[in-house]
Structure 1
Amino acid sequence: MTSGLRSLPPLGVLLCCAVVLAVCAEASSAAGAGACWSPGVASCADCLRRGPQCAWCFQEDFLHGSGLSRRCDLPENLRGRGCHPEFMEQSEVKVEVNATLGSTQVSPRDVSITLRPGSDASFIVAVKQLERYPVDLYYLVDVSASMQENLNHLKTVGVALSLRMMEHTSDLWLGFGSFVDKPVSPYINVHPSKISNPCSDYEIRCRPAHGFHHVLSMTGNMSEFTRVIKRQRISGNMDTPEGGLDAMLQAAVCQNAVGWRPEAKRLLLLMTDQPSHLALDSRLGGIVVPHDGLCHLENNVYTGSTRMDHPSLGQLSDKLLENHIYSVFAVEKLQYQWYEELVRLLPGSYLGKLGLFQAPTLIDLVVDAYKRLLSEVAVSVSVEDEAVSRFWVSISPVCPHGSTAKDRSCSGVQPGQMVYFNITIGQHSCAKDGKDEDVTVLVRPVGYNESTVVRIRSKCQCSCGPMGRCNEDDQSPCIDQEQRSDHGHLKDSKTDPNRNCRADGSNVDCSGRGVCECGKCVCDQSRLGIIYGKYCEIDDFSCPYEQELLCGGRGACVSGECVCEDGWTGDSCGCPTSTSVCQSPDGSLCSGRGKCVCGKCVCDDPEQYGELCERCPTCQNPQQICKSVDCNHSQRLSHKEVEGFNTTCAPFADSINCVSERVSSGRLVGTFLSVCALTVLCGLVVVAVSRLLMQKRLRSPGGAGGDGGHHCPGKDLSYIPTINEKTVTYRRDWPPDHPVEMHIQVPKMPLGDSWQF
C-alpha cells in the first residue's frame, strides 16, 4: 500500500484521499440513517415500519429527482435536506388516561395508547391493599376411595373455620364441589356392575365416578355447609391421577352456579392425595377435542367431561386470573413435589403440605394461605390471542417500604399500603394486511376483582397531512402531450421531449447525472451520497466540509459549489457576512488597525495583535505625538495634510498648531543606533588620550627616580633577557599521533621602566 502511494503523482494522492474521505463521510452518515433508509422503502408505511426513529417526508418538491426511498430518513437528516417539520410523517406515541372511572383498589381503570411498530409506551398502575375483604371459599374435594378418611375430617371444618376467619373478615361464605375423573375407559372400570358402584368388590355402596359435581353454592350458613359435607360419599376410579384440573376450570368459569360474589376475595381450595391429569392425557380415552374454556354444567353435573380434553395449564391460569380466583392446594406429603412444580405455573397459587386432613391443620392452612396471598400483590397482563405475537410487555413493581420485590409482584404488603407497577407495552410489527388495528390488553392484579383496560391503537398506515397525500405516485407513467397541459401551456414533447430536463444554458440532460423520463429528471444513485434537484444539480458529497458538515450545514451543494444561506459566504459557507463580530467597543472596526475578514480581524501591522487588533506595544498616545512637535514658527496644517503625515493625528488637528515631522518606527531605530555609535566613539577617544598622557609623564626627566620607581640593583643587567621564549606543544586529533610545536616569543618590560603605583 505504501509503495503504491509513493508512485502516485501528487494529484493522484489528493484524488485518492478525497475518495476515501467521501466514502468515510458516507459511512458515517449511513450509520445514523441506515436503520431507516433502504432501497426497498417505497412508501410511507414501509418507512415507519422500520422503527420509531424513522420519518417520511411528503413535501412535494423534496429531493426532486431522487428515488422515493430517500424520503425515509431520520428526522434531523430530513430537516437538514430541506424538509419542513410540518411535512413529516413519523411515529407518534400517545398515552391517555381516563380519570373519570372511579376505583377502590386499582387505578387507573382505563388507558388509551397509540403505537407504531418499534415504539413503546409506559404507564403506572396503582393497587391498594384493603384492610378487610369479604371472602368466598370453595372446597373442591377429591372423593376417590383413598380420600375416605380425609373426607370424614372435613365434616367438622365449617364452623371452626368460620370462627377462625373472623379475625380477618366478618363476611365468610363457603361452597362445596367434588370430582373423581373422566367416566370413560381406561380411567374407570366400564363393566356394567362397576359403572353405578365402583366399590362393588368391597361390598360398599359408592357414588358413580364423575368429572365434576357442584354440590353447594356459596352460602354464609355454616350449618348448611356442615350438613352437606356429612352427606358426601366416596367414589372410585382405575388409574392414579385424578381429574382435579378439569374440575378447577369448571368451578372457576361457572360463576352463576357456584355463586362467586363480585366484591369478595375468591379462594378455590383443592384437596387431593394424588396428582392430576394434564392436557392431552384424554387421548388415551379417545378424547381429542381441546377444552373450550366454557362452563358445561347441567343439573350441577359437568357434561363435557367425556367430550373434551383436560385443560392446559395456560388455559387454566387465564381462567383463574380472568375470574379473580386464588387457588390453594392442600395435598399429602407424597405428592407435594409434583404440585410444587405445578403452582409455579399458576399465578396467585398457594401450596400446603398436610399429613392428614384433620380439621385444625386444614383450618391453619386456609388461614395461612389467605394471609400469604393477600400480602403478595402481583399483576398479570393478557393480550388478545390473535395479536399476542405483535406486542411485548414489561412489568416493574415499586413496592412500599418494608416489602420485597419479586418478578411482577411485591411480598409482605400490609393492609392500607399502595403498590405501583410500571408497565411498558411495545409493538413488534403490524398485522399481515398492514392495516391499522385496535387491540385490548387487560392488566389484572391477581385475585382482585378490579382491573385496568388498556386500549391500543396500532397505527400501521400513514395519514400524510390533511389532504392524505404521501407523494408516493411520483413514478407515474408518461401522459401524452395532447392529454396534458401545464397551466394552460402545452408542452411540445414531439420536437424536444427532453428540453425540460436541461438547465438554462446547458445542453446536457439532467447535468449528466441522471436520465430524463417523461420530461422529468430521475437522478442516478451514487454510493457517495444523494443526487437530487430538478436537473440533478444538487448532491450531498461533492462540496467542501466544515466541522464534518457539508458546506458547514449552512448551504446546499449545487454543481460542486456551496450556495450559502443568507448571512454566510465562503467556499464552505464558514464566513459570516456581518462585521459586527469585528466591531470594537468604540464602534470602529478592528480598533482602526485592521480589516474584518471572514468574521476575524486581520491587523495591518504585524506588531499589532489581539482579537480586535487592540494590542499595540509600539503605539503611543496620538495626542502626545502630535503635541510634541513645536510649530510656533510654521503655518497651520489642514486636516488633509495632517492625515498625510500621521493618520492618528487627524482627530487632534483642531487642537494643535501643526505637525512638522513624521514619527516612524524606522527613524526611532536609526536615532537609537546613532546615539550608541557616538557613545562608543567618545569612549575610545577618552581612553586613547588618557594613555598618551600617562606615557608622557613616565618619560619626563626625573621620572626614573621619582617616587614609586623600583629596579633590581646588584646584578649585571646585560645577562637579563629581554624576551621570554617558550615552546608549547599542542596535540591535535588529525593527523593522529603527530603533535605540532609552536614557537612563541613574549617581550618583557624594559628594565628601565618602573611600575607606578
Structure 2
Amino acid sequence: MSLSERCDLAVNLESKGCEMQFIERPGVKVEVNTTLPSTQVAPRDLLVQLPPGGETSFVVEVKQLERYPVDLYYLVDVSASMQENLDRLKTVGMALSHRMRDYSSDFRVGFGSFVDKPVSPYINVHPLKIENPCKDYEIQCRPAHGFIHVLPMTDNMTEFTRVIQQQQISGNMDTPEGGFDAMLQAAVCQKNIGWRPEAKHLLLLMTDQPSHLALDSRLAGIVVPHDGNCHLENNAYTKTTNMEYPTIGQLAEKLMDNSIHSIFAVEQGQYKWYEDLIPLLPGAYLGRLQKRASNLKDLVIEAYKKLLSNVELEVAIQDHHVHRFHINITAVCPKGSQATGINKCSNVKPNQTVFFNITVSMKDCPSEEEEILIFVKPVGFNETTTVRVRPTCSCRCRELGRCLDERDDALCGAGEEQDDLSPARDCKLGGSGPDCSGRGVCVCGKCVCDHTNLGTVNGNYCEVDDFSCPYSHGLLCGGRGQCISGECRCESGWTGESCACPASTEPCLSEDGLLCSGRGKCVCGSCRCDDPRRSGQFCEKCPTCDYSLKCLQRNKLIFPLSHYVSECILQVSQLLPSFVCLQVTWLYEMTL
C-alpha cells in the first residue's frame, strides 16, 4: 500500500481492506506530573496530547484551607470629600486586627493613597492651586497625586495608626477619581507592597466617587496605553501623566495574576456604578460604606468571609490560540450538586474540596506543532494548574517510504531522494498559509481532512466545515450559505456575517414606493430612521414632530380656517389618531 493510500480517514482505510490492528489513530493522552507539591490545587501540571477535533477531560481539585495568613492593603481616595472617612480609618486599624484573629493566623495591613492624574483637566493647574488644591477654602491640602505607596505590609498596628493619622486630604476638579490607576500599581508592585506568597491578598478601595476608565485620559492628551507594569520610584507612581488609565480587562488580568481579591467600599451615591462593574472583576466584593465609614470594620470582615466561601475557577489561554480551543467547566460542589457550564461554588467551608470537571477540545492544528499552555487558576489562590497541550497533527506513516502522485505516476517531490509527502503549494489554499488549512494532512499533493467530533471538515484544502461559522436562528450561516474558512459565503440574495440579511431592499418599501418613506436607510431588511424621533416599520410615525407650528404659521399667512384644518389633518395623518384629534382641536381653538 502506497503512502497516499496509507494516510487517510479510518473509515476509508477500513473500506480498502486495512486491518484494524494496523491502523494508527492519533489518540488523546493525558499525563499528570506528580512531582510538584500541592496543598490547595491538584494536579499542578498536566501534559495533554490532542489531535485536531480531539477532546479530553480531567478533574482539578481545589481545597479551601482554614485560617490563612491575610494581607490587607488599604487604598484610600484622599480627595477633600473623603475627610470624614479618612478620620474613621484612623481609629479602625487596631479593632479590625483584633477581629481578624478569629479568621486568620497572621494578619498584616498596608496603606496607599490616590486622587487622580495631576494634570489638566483633572486638577486646577494654577501654580498656587497645584501646591494647595484647597486654597479657595483657606485649608491646607496636599498636592494631587496618581498613587503614593505609604506603608508596606506590617503587623504593627501602632505604626499603621500613626501613618494614617499623618495623612492629609487633597483635591481635584472632576468627579471621577484615578482609583483603577492606583489599583493596578498596588497589584503589580508585589515587592514594594509586601504581598506574601502564602497569604490571602485583599485590596480594599475606599472612595465616594466613580473611577476613570481607559481612554478618559485622552482629554489630557495622554494616549499611550497602559503597559500593565509597576512604575514606582520613591513609592510614587511615576507614569501617571504619561500612560492612560488601565482597561477593565487589564485590571482584572493583573488582579488574577497576582491572586488578589478586591473589595470596593463605596458610598451610597456611587453604589450602582460599582455594582455594574463587579461582574467584570473575578473575586471582587462590593460593600456599601455608611456615613463616616462607621461600618468599615464589619464590612471588611463580611467581605473576607464571603470571598473565602466562594471557590471560582478562571481559565487563560495564550492569546493567539484562544480561537483554537473550546473549554467547558462543570463544578461539583461539596454538597454534591453539579452545575454544567458553571465555574463557581458558593458557601464552601474550610477544609472542604471542590471538584471541577474540565473538558478541552481542540478545533484545528497550529501552523507549527508547538506546545500550547492553558492556565487553570482558582481566583485568589496562589496555586495554578498548568495544562501543556501538545497537538498531534501528523501520522508516523508520513515518515515512511515514498508515494506516487496519482496525476502523473511521478514521485512526489523533486527527485528520488525526496520523501516529503507533497509540494507545499499543492495543499495550501491560495498558495499560502498552513497545509490543508491546518485541519488535515497533505498526501501526495492532496489534502486528507481531519475527522473531528465538532463536525465535518471537507473541501480541496479542508477549508469547508459545518461548525465554525456564525449561526442565525439555530442554523449555520442561517441555512443560506456555506461555511468556508470560518466565514459564511452567502447564497445569492443574502448578505451579512451569518447570511441573515436580505440583499433586496423590497422589505423596506413603503406604500408610496419610497425607501423607508424617504426618511431612512434599509439595513438588513429593516428601516433605520434618519431622525431618532421616527419609528414604525417604514419610519412613518413621528408623534413629536413639530407639525402644529408649521400649520399655525400657514394659517396666519395664507389659509382660511377650513383650509387650515384640512391641511393640518393631511400634515399629521401619519400621527397616532388620538394625537391628531388633540392637535386639530388645539389648532382650531387657537384660530377663534
TM-score with structure 2 setting the length:
0.67
**Partner residue, 2:15:** 80
**Partner residue, 1:508:** none
Supply the distance in 2 between the matched residues of 1:397 and 1:470 (Cα, whole angstroms): 50
* Residue of structure 2 aligned with 1:249, choices 184, 187, 194: 184
Q: Aligned in 2, Cα 1:403/1:132: closer, same or farther, shift over 3 Å?
A: farther
- The Cα shift of 1:121 comes to 1.7
**Are 1:96 and 2:34 counterparts?**
no
Supply the distance in 2 between the matched residues of 1:276 and 1:84 (Cα, whole angstroms): 67
Supply the distance in 1 between the matched residues of 2:248 and 2:402 (Cα, whole angstroms): 48
CA deviations over 1:443-478 (Å, ceiling 9, x no partner) = 111111111111111233x14338445847555665
**Are 1:307 and 2:249 counterparts?**
no
- The Cα shift of 1:442 comes to 1.1
Correspondence 1:703-714 to 2 at 5 A: none
CA deviations over 1:274-314 (Å, ceiling 9, x no partner) = 00011111111111111111101011111111111111111
**Partner residue, 1:21:** none
2:331–2:338 CA contact under 8 A, matched in 1: no
**Are 1:60 and 2:2 counterparts?**
yes
Supply the distance in 2 between the matched residues of 1:408 and 1:157 (Cα, whole angstroms): 36
1:403–1:413 CA contact under 8 A, matched in 2: no
Supply the distance in 2 between the matched residues of 1:195 and 1:473 (Cα, whole angstroms): 79
**Are 1:457 and 2:390 counterparts?**
yes
Correspondence 1:144-543 to 2 at 5 A: 144-359=79-294, 361-401=295-335, 407-431=342-366, 434-460=367-393, 462-465=394-397, 467-469=399-401, 471=403, 473=405, 475=407, 478=410
Root mean square deviation, CA, Å: 2.2
Supply the distance in 2 between the matched residues of 1:62 and 1:468 (Cα, whole angstroms): 11
- The Cα shift of 1:127 comes to 0.5
Supply the distance in 1 between the matched residues of 2:402 and 2:78 (Cα, whole angstroms): 69
1:379–1:408 CA contact under 8 A, matched in 2: yes
- The Cα shift of 1:172 comes to 0.4
1:377–1:445 CA contact under 8 A, matched in 2: yes
1:87–1:465 CA contact under 8 A, matched in 2: no
2:3–2:402 CA contact under 8 A, matched in 1: no
- The Cα shift of 1:220 comes to 0.5
1:159–1:222 CA contact under 8 A, matched in 2: yes
Correspondence 1:579-658 to 2 at 5 A: none
Q: Which has the higher contact order (CA 8 A, sep 6+)?
A: 2
Supply the distance in 1 between the matched residues of 2:26 and 2:292 (Cα, whole angstroms): 60
1:404–1:412 CA contact under 8 A, matched in 2: no
User: Secondary structure of 1:181's partner?
Assistant: coil
User: Secondary structure of 1:326's partner?
Assistant: strand
Q: Aligned in 2, Cα 1:333/1:95: closer, same or farther, shift over 3 Å?
A: same
- The Cα shift of 1:91 comes to 3.8
- The Cα shift of 1:386 comes to 2.0
Supply the distance in 2 between the matched residues of 1:448 and 1:102 (Cα, whole angstroms): 15
The one-letter code matched in structure 1 to 2:324 is R
The one-letter code matched in structure 2 to 1:174 is V
1:397–1:408 CA contact under 8 A, matched in 2: yes
Supply the distance in 1 between the matched residues of 2:71 and 2:297 (Cα, whole angstroms): 15
Segments of 5+ residues of structure 1 without an aligned counterpart are 1-58, 485-757
Supply the distance in 1 between the matched residues of 2:224 and 2:289 (Cα, whole angstroms): 35
User: Secondary structure of 1:208's partner?
Assistant: coil
Q: Aligned in 2, Cα 1:62/1:296: closer, same or farther, shift over 3 Å?
A: closer
Supply the distance in 2 between the matched residues of 1:331 and 1:402 (Cα, whole angstroms): 36
1:324–1:447 CA contact under 8 A, matched in 2: yes
Q: Aligned in 2, Cα 1:478/1:171: closer, same or farther, shift over 3 Å?
A: closer
CA deviations over 1:34-76 (Å, ceiling 9, x no partner) = xxxxxxxxxxxxxxxxxxxxxxxxx41776xxxx9xx533x24
Supply the distance in 1 between the matched residues of 2:404 and 2:396 (Cα, whole angstroms): 10
- The Cα shift of 1:403 comes to 7.4
Percentage of identical aligned residues: 61
1:123–1:424 CA contact under 8 A, matched in 2: yes
Supply the distance in 2 between the matched residues of 1:142 and 1:403 (Cα, whole angstroms): 42
Q: Aligned in 2, Cα 1:192/1:421: closer, same or farther, shift over 3 Å?
A: same
Segments of 5+ residues of structure 2 without an aligned counterpart are 417-592
1:62–1:82 CA contact under 8 A, matched in 2: no
The one-letter code matched in structure 1 to 2:372 is V
1:435–1:459 CA contact under 8 A, matched in 2: no
Supply the distance in 2 between the matched residues of 1:402 and 1:371 (Cα, whole angstroms): 22
CA deviations over 1:109-134 (Å, ceiling 9, x no partner) = 00111123222221110001111100
The one-letter code matched in structure 2 to 1:60 is S
The one-letter code matched in structure 2 to 1:381 is V
Supply the distance in 1 between the matched residues of 2:251 and 2:243 (Cα, whole angstroms): 14
User: Secondary structure of 1:156's partner?
Assistant: helix
Supply the distance in 2 between the matched residues of 1:81 and 1:449 (Cα, whole angstroms): 54
CA deviations over 1:531-582 (Å, ceiling 9, x no partner) = xxxxxxxxxxxxxxxxxxxxxxxxxxxxxxxxxxxxxxxxxxxxxxxxxxxx
User: Secondary structure of 1:444's partner?
Assistant: strand
User: Secondary structure of 1:465's partner?
Assistant: helix
- The Cα shift of 1:392 comes to 2.4
- The Cα shift of 1:183 comes to 1.2
Supply the distance in 2 between the matched residues of 1:247 and 1:95 (Cα, whole angstroms): 42
1:403–1:412 CA contact under 8 A, matched in 2: no
How many residues align? The count is 412
Q: Aligned in 2, Cα 1:78/1:220: closer, same or farther, shift over 3 Å?
A: same
**Partner residue, 1:680:** none
